[in-house]
């Protein structure tokens, strides 16, 4: 059972990392034109853009850390269950909050599903138990 949870978490980490790459292209693909055309001050637009890219970097960081944690577990070197649980819970809670905040928009499953997959690593039993 432990190995299954670790592989599920590894896939969740890979998926989150790929979503981060897609997220980073979203600013220029979807928002740059409309935000520029909205007439907002350039410093406000720059602040929004910095926040957008910060989110992309955080998603990539979470995904890569989750991959590393799962890899260590698969190699039977131990799993930091607290870190995995915190990453997974952060993504799930954010996704649920955003879904409710945005009138139950199912888009936010892109945070909930990989978060739940990563959180599965928190349930891996330590060796010898």
Per-position DSSP letters for 69-113, written without gaps between them: HHHHHHTTS---HHHHHHHHHHHHHHHHHHHHHTTS-GGGHHHHH
**Residues 118-129: b if buried by 16+ CB within 10 A, e if exposed:** bbbbbebeeeee
Residue % of the chain over a pLDDT of 70? 97
Residue 129: predicted pLDDT: 56
Q: Please, what is the average pLDDT of the chain? A: 91
Residues constituting the chain: 129
Digit-coded pLDDT (tens) for 18-31: 999 999 988 777 77
Q: If you compute the radius of gyration of the chain from its CA atoms, what whole number of angstroms results?
A: 17
**CA pair distance 70, 106, nearest whole angstrom:** 27
pLDDT at residue 20, rounded to an integer: 95
Which tens digit of pLDDT belongs to each residue from 11-58? Answer: 999 999 999 999 998 877 777 778 778 888 889 888 988 999 999 999
- Put simply, whether the predicted model's pTM sits higher than 0.85 gets the answer yes
């Amino acid at each position: 059972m432990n190995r299954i949870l670790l592989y599920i978490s590894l896939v969740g980490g890979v998926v989150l990392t790929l979503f981060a790459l897609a997220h980073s292209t979203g600013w220029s693909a979807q928002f740059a034109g409309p935000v520029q055309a909205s007439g907002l001050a350039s410093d406000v637009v720059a602040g929004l853009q910095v926040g957008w890219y910060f989110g992309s970097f955080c998603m990539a960081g979470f995904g890569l850390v989750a991959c590393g944690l799962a890899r260590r577990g698969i190699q039977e070197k131990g799993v930091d269950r607290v870190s995995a649980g915190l990453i997974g819970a952060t993504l799930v809670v954010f996704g649920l909050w955003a879904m409710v905040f945005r009138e139950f928009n199912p888009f936010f499953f892109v945070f909930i599903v990989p978060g739940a997959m990563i959180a599965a690593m928190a349930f891996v039993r330590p060796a010898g138990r």
